[in-house]
Amino acid sequence: MNATHHSAVAGEILKLVKLNNDSFQAEENADAEQMARLLADGFTILRPGDLKQGKVVTSTEFLQGLAARGRLVEDICIRLFGEVAVITSLLSTHGEQAGLFWNTKVCVKQANGEWLIRDWRVNRIS
């Protein structure tokens, strides 16, 4: 791997770190407008409560239900696979829905070079 390749990969990783941070911040701020800009066409999210109901939530439903919960995001790992990236992170929440959650985001690189979230899975750990 040459220095140019490392630099390009590092640049993509930085974009994905920002996307991940921005998505958690938009969710925490219940900022549907900001969040909408981060989601790819066809976005879906599956959360623990959704599993009980047997449904996958679309972007429209997700954006309507944004709520601040007090979050701490740790153990972030980003894996690049060409035009697709997987971001995993551990999230702890406080308050009414307190718990520990494993988040997995599948992101796709757009034609303009921007990364957007295509799928988001949340699994309750405790």
For residue 101, give the nearest of 34, 30, 51, 40 by alpha carbon.
51
Those residues whose C-beta lies under 8 Å from the C-beta of residue 64, and which sit 6 or more positions away, are 32
Q: What's the number of domains the chain is made of?
A: 1
Hey, what's the torsion of the CAs at 21, 40, 114, 84, to 10 degrees?
A: 90
- Checking if the pLDDT of 1 tops 60, the result is no
According to the model, what pLDDT value does residue 119 have? Answer: 97
- Tens of pLDDT, residue by residue over 51-71, are 667 788 999 999 998 887 788
CA distance 119 to 21: 16
- Residue 36: domain span: 3-124
For residue 27, give the nearest of 75, 54, 59 by alpha carbon.
59
According to the model, what pLDDT value does residue 24 have? Answer: 92
Q: Would you state the structure tokens that stand for residue 31, as one six-digit string?
A: 């900022």
For residue 20, count CB atoms less than 10 angstroms from its CB and return exposed for 0-12, middle for 13-18, buried for 19 or more.
Answer: buried
Hey, what's the torsion of the CAs at 53, 118, 32, 121, to 10 degrees?
A: 40
According to the model, what pLDDT value does residue 2 have? Answer: 58
Lowest mean pLDDT across 4-8, 60-64, 118-122: 4-8
Predicted TM-score (pTM) of this structure: 0.89
Tokens 């750990």 -> residue: 125
Per-residue pLDDT averaged across 78-85, rounded?
Answer: 96
CA distance 121 to 126: 16
Q: For residue 54, what is the domain's CATH number?
A: 3.10.450.50
